[in-house]
Amino acid sequence: MTSAGVVRNFVGGQFVESGELFDDINPVDGSVAARVHEADESIVDSAVRAARKALDGPWSRLGAPQRAALLRRIADVIEARFDEFVAAEVADTGKPVSLARQIDVARAAANFRAFADLVSATGLDSFLTELPDGRRALNYALRKPLGVVGVIVPWNLPLLLLTWKVAPALACGNTVVVKPSELTPATATLLAEVITEAGVPDGVYNVVHGFGAGSAGAHLTVHPGIDGITFTGESSTGSTIMAAVSPRVRPVSFELGGKNAAIVFADADLKRAVDTLTRSVFTNTGQVCLCTERVYVQRPVFDEVVAALAERAAALRLGRPEEAETTTGPLISTEHREKVLGYYRLAEETGAQAVVGGAVPRLGAGLDGGAWIEPTLWTGAGNDNRLLREEIFGPVAALVPFDTEDEAVALANDTSYGLAATVLTTDLDRGHRVAGRMRVGISWVNTWFLRDLRSPFGGSGLSGIGREGGEHSLHFYSEPTNVCVEL
């Protein structure tokens, strides 16, 4: 796929060049990781046609157990080629190798296994109807694939988020055209080799590379041959995609941005709370949709939590991904760093104080061409400050004191987003009570990022439409059809 650093599209089982290449930049040092063939309208069209053809081919005659077996084989091949996936993900994102190993690539294999298990075990509705006039009928539902699914994904957890959608889509018998982020094209392309090696028929999995507006992303969303779009990315992009598919009334599943809150009660185990916050604010350089960017701390422990979290932030080690002591990579790009730095400047202008960080670090050792930024915490900003209203998507959080439980709930829910929340307390009743009052798709108590893949995942408000995960994914990726037989 990436022979000599070249990334190609994958259509109908063949790697396809377009002649129009763009650079895939390694954000660690600004070097070119690969050159990528951008799919034009005709390549996107051939990918959709290949997917449509495959939908009605031998793939359509496989039952759920056979598809599940193929999914398990895909997971096996990912594991057999684990190091290649890690290297590709790290070259595109600059994230620490340890993170790519533990989260990105491990979860990719797990996604395929989880949906293989689920689709093998799940049943569908059946009802025996008995009418007053004595007639009887058997109703039973068949699960049909949605069809050709457009899968558009972002750069922060490229393989994890892609497989989170591709695995259930294939489990349900769909075919897919995938549009990875232009910033992280490698692992989706490597997955094409794996899927072929696992024995999935040609045309079931297709990859088109390029950008959003005016490029592969937009071509895919307006293509009449797409039966549904599953998208993870920014809320504003979700809104554009929704408008693009609306003339043809196609279903969408949207996992969008977040502005997630954590609430630390004075009764929390503070060491555990600070450990949890260190992960929830800074993992993946804060570039996880679920990361915490607002931390509400009950007043008696506010200063202590601020000081302890600042100490942990200052101890994070920025450095090359392959170095064992590195905890934190760069942002995805220098363009994204400009956006994040805009919020650092806003913090200064609006009188917030940087307790730690607030600048671009000088790392030397050939890294200064990279997209590095200091992990940063602010105090002194209120809920009306844009720092607490807009998704920044960096290693940043603002800390705000509160007095009562009701006040904390009101502050946390005062947002247009609704993805995730974290409640830190040793009071069991309070943990359940407050978690249940969060207007989000996922609430954690005394932890973060831990999740059963069978549980619902998604957000409310600007954070998305629909739920994926377990049975919820099967609902989106299939169309139950009821058959009614009079007996």
Q: Using CB under 6 A as the criterion, which residues of the chain lie in contact with ligand NAD when the complex forms?
A: 152-156, 161, 179, 181-182, 211-213, 217-218, 221, 232-234, 237, 240-241, 255-258, 289, 391, 393, 419, 459, 463-464
CB of 38 to ligand NAD, least distance (A): 11
Q: Which is nearer to ligand NAD, 416 or 426 (CB)?
A: 416
Nearer to ligand NAD, 270 or 465 (CB): 465
Structure tokens at 361: 């670090």
Residue 115: burial class (beta carbons within 10 Å; 0-12, 13-18, 19+): buried
Using the minimum distance from each CB to ligand NAD, give the nearer residue, 110 or 141: 110
255 catalytic per annotation: yes
| CB nearer ligand NAD, residue 268 or residue 331 | 331
Report whether 410 contacts 382 (CB < 8 A): no
Q: Are 459 and 255 in contact (CB under 8 A)?
A: yes
The single residue of 38, 84, 89, 289 carrying the catalytic annotation is: 289
Q: Kindly tell me which of 104 and 391 has the beta carbon lying closer to ligand NAD.
A: 391
CB of 234 to ligand NAD, least distance (A): 3
Q: Which is nearer to ligand NAD, 269 or 335 (CB)?
A: 335
* Closest distance to ligand NAD from the beta carbon of 107 (Å): 12
Q: Which is nearer to ligand NAD, 354 or 396 (CB)?
A: 396
Which position among 84, 255, 374, 391 bears the catalytic label? Answer: 255
CA distances from 188 to 87, 243, 251, 312, 420 (A): 13, 26, 23, 34, 27
CB of 70 to ligand NAD, least distance (A): 26
Is 291 tagged catalytic? Answer: no
CB of 288 to ligand NAD, least distance (A): 7
In the complex, the smallest distance separating the C-beta of residue 402 from ligand NAD, rounded to whole angstroms, is 25
Residue nearest to ligand NAD (CB): 212
Which one, 233 or 431, has the nearer CB to ligand NAD? 233
Tell the smallest beta-carbon distance from residue 433 to ligand NAD (Å): 25
- Dihedral of CA atoms 456, 461, 463, 468 in degrees, nearest 10, equals 20
Provide the minimum distance between the beta carbon of 26 and ligand NAD in the complex, in angstroms, as a whole number.
17
Catalytic annotation, residues = 255, 289
